[in-house]
Structure 1
Amino acid sequence: EAVITVLVDRVIGLMALFVLALAVMGLFHQQVLANPALRVFALFAGGGLVVMVLIVVLSSWPGSANKTPRLLAILERLPKYDVIKRLVDACRLYARRPAVLVKTMLLSLGVHIVVILSIVCIGRGMNVVTDNGFFDYFLYLPIINSIAAVPVSIAGLGVREGLYSMMFGQVGVAQSVAVAMSLFGYFAILFWSLVGSIFFLTHRKELPPARDIVDGTAAT
């Protein structure tokens, strides 16, 4: 149940990141249209967002797969079908509480914005100067973080640094400086994650199963 909860959290977080990236790219549409790489990413982010929304919506309908035997037969042949089924059941469970999903999405957006601001502070501390100043961070970082969030490498290492070098290099930042900025940002997040994990381990409370909370049967 804990693993499934983390997976749902990751899906919601990635959806929020795609929404933020697309919103910022909409604001800077002239730069996006003039850059082939940004145009490709806009299609990738838009398509990814549509797919994830469809998955959440379809999984929220009880018995939707059972009503189409052919679809169910295909799904049952997939590797780790039991895990997929549990993930769908978890989505169904959270779909009963749309207010919780909205709050989670907004919280995730807030976290992503704070992460961007932290990189802005790191850049200022390193005397990084970009062609368009503050706005370049908000244009490129949602794109970088979206791609780095895809599980291609461990914690996005290597992928993220390459993207920093490529994208910030377009606005006058030296390759070595861009890579250093990426690593400083990663270690800053890692540090505060460790602080948060210590706080969690020392202050966590035993909670009833999520299903009991949703159904209103949890003991108070």
Structure 2
Amino acid sequence: MAAKLKFLISVLLLGLLIYQLDGQALRGVFLTANPGWLLLAAALIVLSMVVSVEKWSQILKAESIYLPWYQLWKAYWIGLFFNNFLPSSIGGDGIRIFLVGRNISNLACAASSVIIERIMATLGLALTGLLTGLVVKPNWQVSWLFVGLTLVATGLLVFLMWGSLPASVVQRNGRLSNFLRTFLAHGRSVRGHGQRLLLAGCLSVLFQLTVVAVNYAIFRGLQVNSLGWLELVYIIPAISAIAMVPIGINGYGVREGAYVILLASYGVAGSAALGASLLFAVLVSLCSLYGGLLWLVNRERNVLRERLPDMKPEVN
């Protein structure tokens, strides 16, 4: 029911935007797009995944979990595929937790690493926007959004590394209580790995810059030249933050509205902003098909293992 409601909200928001904007101009945006710049944007999306996987790897190592890099690469891409094509109550992060947790026989540890990685990504997003706001003309609503995200992300990170559970939970022996105890224990274990956390933080900022670079290439491909690099470094993280609001399917509708509204002050036509947002979503979705292929291959291998129990496990 929730998924259907989100789908309906996304459709309504997109329909409203397309209705209010010039449909002919929107078609022109797509027809005049430079394919070379769009190919560069797709390549930068792949680069952003490399950065994300390495960031996740560093957090897992801080929790004393050492997995083959390609195993994390596959899990991340499969999670991206689920986010884009199989929206459900599980989501891409849930898939990552399941895939890694199954391999290490510890779902709580996998959950801890994924949640810490997500929190650090949010913190990197907020700090990128805040620091850029010092050198460009700021939008105060956007700046306060970054301040709020910084405080929330920092608070969650502090709780995961130093927080404790109520005594009523600690003293129980149920499955959920055991999971929560293990979850926080792994969160506390990263405190002694400052260098890895610092590297993960730097990679979080680098990831945001790659997302900005993807958008920069898309706008250049659409012949939109009114946006400079620093303006995009300031505004794209804000759009990403707004797109996190869980009222639509994979951010559709919310993200497009943020593009149109926030970029209007930079002289970007609504049709160009909407076109850029849709192209960004389409390129990410197309790239995520690679994750679907990995999922199908893994699924087939699992079937073979069930039929041939003596098969050796995959070596990465």
TM-score greater than 0.5 by the shorter chain? yes
Contact 2:132 2:230 in 1 (8 A): no
Matched, 1:169 2:274: no
Q: Which residue of 2 aligns with 1:59?
A: 160
Q: CA deviation at 1:4?
A: 3.5
Kept after mapping to 2: 8 A contact 1:168/1:178: yes
C-alpha separation between the residues in 2 aligned to 1:119 and 1:167? 14
Of 235, 238, 252, which aligns to 1:143? 238
From the superposition, tell whether residues 115 and 48 of structure 1 become closer, same or farther in structure 2 (CA, over 3 Å): closer
> Do the aligned residues in 1 keep the contact of 2:145 with 2:238 (CA within 8 Å)?
no
Give the Å deviation of 1:86.
5.3
Give the AA of the match of 1:54.
G
Match of 1:49 in 2: 150
Cα distance in structure 2, aligned partners of 1:169 and 1:149: 21
1:153 is matched with 248
In structure 1, the partner of 2:273 is 178
Query: Which stretches in structure 2 are left out of the alignment for 5+ residues?
Result: 1-106, 171-175, 299-316
Cα RMSD (Å) of the superposition?
A: 2.9
TM-score normalised over the length of structure 2: 0.51
Matched residue SS, 1:172:
coil
Question: Could you tell me which residue of structure 2 aligns to residue 216 of structure 1?
Answer: none
**In the alignment, structure 1 residue 95 sits paired with structure 2 residue 203:** no
Deviation for aligned residue 1:182: 0.7
Secondary structure of the structure 2 residue equivalent to 1:167: helix
Change (3 A) 1:42 1:87: farther
Partner of 1:215: none
Indicate yes or no: 2:115 matched with 1:115. Answer: no
SS in structure 1 at match of 2:275: helix
Question: What SS does the aligned partner of 1:151 have?
Answer: coil
Q: CA deviation at 1:184?
A: 0.8
* 8 Å CA contact retained: 2:116, 2:157: no
Q: Report deviation, 1:11.
A: 0.9
Instruction: In structure 2, give the amino acid aligned to 1:174.
Output: A
Distance 1:200 1:6 in 2: 19
Distance 1:151 1:89, change over 3 A: farther
1:148 to 1:200, Cα distance in 2 relative to 1, 3 A: same
Tell me, what secondary structure is at the counterpart of 2:224?
coil
Retained in 2: the 8 A contact 1:14–1:149?
Answer: no
Q: Please give the per-residue CA displacement for 1:134-168, whole angstroms capped at 9, x wherever unaligned.
A: 33322211111122134343322111100100111
> Normalising by the residue count of structure 1, what TM-score does the alignment of the two structures yield?
0.70
Q: Percent identity?
A: 24
How many residue pairs get aligned? The number is 184
Report the 3-state secondary structure (helix = DSSP H, G, I; strand = E; otherwise coil) of the residue aligned with 1:60: helix
CA distance in 2 between partners of 1:74 and 1:182 (Å): 47
